[in-house]
C-alpha cells in the first residue's frame, strides 16, 4: 500500500468525533504521513499515540498551512470535520481551505460517514490511483 499524506482538522464541536474516528482507524492511519492543526492534533496524539506533524491552530493559520500543503501537492486527503451550524471567527480561512481542496481535486471528508468511505475505498489502498492523480497534475 502506498504511503498517503492525510490532513486532519476539526472544529471544536466536532473534535471528539474526529478523535474517536482516528482511534478506530489507528492501524490504517499509522501507515501514513499525518498532519493536523494544533489542538485537534494534540488531542488525537493524546488518545492514539499516532505520529502527527502538528501545524498551527486553525484560527492561527493552521487551515492555511493545510491549504499550502494542498497547493504544493503534499497532501493526498483532507479529513475536515467541520460544524455547519457554528459560525467560526476564521470562516474565510475555512472556506479557502475547502475551496483549494476542491480546486486541486483532493478527496475531502467533512463528516464521519465520508471519512469511512474514503479510508475503506480500494482506491485509498491502490498505488495506481496515486500514479493517475500525479499524471493528471502534469
User: Which phi and psi angles does 75 have, rounded to 5°?
Assistant: -130, 125
CA distance 40 to 65: 14
* Cβ–Cβ under 8 Å, residues 34 and 119: no
CA distance 116 to 54: 23
Which residues contact residue 105 at a Cβ distance below 8 angstroms, ignoring those fewer than 6 apart?
A: 133, 136
Exactly one of 17, 46, 63, 83 is catalytic; name it: 63
Which residues contact residue 55 at a Cβ distance below 8 angstroms, ignoring those fewer than 6 apart?
A: 35, 36, 37, 38, 41, 61, 62, 65, 66
Catalytic annotation on 63?
yes
**Residues assigned a catalytic role:** 63
Amino acid at each position: 500500500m502506498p504511503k498517503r499524506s492525510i490532513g486532519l482538522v476539526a472544529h471544536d464541536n466536532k473534535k471528539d468525533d474526529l478523535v474517536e474516528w482516528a482511534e478506530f482507524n489507528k492501524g490504517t492511519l499509522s501507515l501514513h504521513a499525518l498532519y493536523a492543526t494544533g489542538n485537534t492534533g494534540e488531542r488525537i496524539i493524546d488518545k492514539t499515540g499516532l505520529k502527527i506533524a502538528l501545524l498551527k491552530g486553525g484560527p492561527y493559520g493552521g487551515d492555511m498551512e493545510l491549504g499550502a500543503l494542498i497547493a504544493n501537492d503534499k497532501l493526498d486527503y483532507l479529513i475536515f470535520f467541520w460544524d455547519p451550524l457554528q459560525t467560526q471567527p476564521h470562516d474565510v480561512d475555512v472556506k479557502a481551505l475547502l475551496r483549494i481542496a476542491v480546486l486541486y481535486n483532493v478527496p475531502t471528508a467533512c463528516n464521519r460517514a465520508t471519512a469511512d468511505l474514503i479510508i475503506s475505498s480500494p482506491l485509498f489502498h491502490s498505488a495506481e490511483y496515486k500514479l493517475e492523480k500525479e499524471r493528471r497534475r502534469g
